[in-house]
Amino acid sequence: MSQSATLDQMISQQVRTGSVLDERTLAALHAVPREAFVPAALRSVAYAECALPLAHGKHMLTPLLVGRILQTLAPRRGERALEIGTGSGYLSACLAALGAQVHSLELHPDLAEQARSNLSATGTAGVSVATADAMSWSEPGEFDLIVLTASLPVYQTRFEQRLRAGGRLFVVVGSAPVMEALCIRRTDGSGFQSQRLFETDLEPLEHAPGPPKFEF
């Protein structure tokens, strides 16, 4: 089966059936060649509904989860997006395809360099990748969109505080086997609204604090 046919199958049988129906989201998924962001040895399964492994025990987000993130955040042209955890650069490219200006943070230098290479090879514009630890990153700036590609065992407000008024944050909170995807919206200078989206499972963000341990 050709890559084009496999891509069509991914969108029709995996993403649409997971209630991702927004046409702009589906167009972005169709426009970004996922196989170009997958490790070479795994390109035959680039469009499978699974979390493909990367270096350092990391994984690419599944196509359905990427679709759900994009549909939830609904990026608009010119909006500034902060991505925590670049991975292979695939989600970065999808956000850029929807018009966002993406600043992505990746803890591991080799993953950051590979993501830059992937983005360059696909002609993706509007994405910058910095090697940085999100838990200690302190450069100034506010964003319209923030997405964490790893989970927070315990929710922290550090990321929502970087949202502009009207901004949206996608984050997965909790520990396996119970994790919940949330959308946090900044309504004004100090107000926030939280929307529960769905249950999922993501590896924890490195250096994010875990729940307190009980001692007996």
In the chain, domain spans: 3-200
Q: What is the pLDDT of residues 32-46, one digit of tens each?
A: 999 999 999 999 999
pLDDT level of residue 107 (50, 70, 90 thresholds): very high
Predicted confidence at residue 6, as pLDDT, reads 86
In the chain, the percentage of residues whose pLDDT exceeds 90 is 88
pLDDT at 1 (0 to 100): 53
Q: What mean pLDDT is predicted for residues 79-94?
A: 98
Q: How many residues does the chain have?
A: 216
What mean pLDDT is predicted for residues 64-92?
Answer: 98
Does the pLDDT of residue 10 top 80, yes or no? yes
CATH number 3.40.50.150 is the correct assignment for the domain at 3-200: yes
Mean pLDDT of the chain: 94
Alpha helix (H) residue ranges in 81-133? 90-97, 109-121
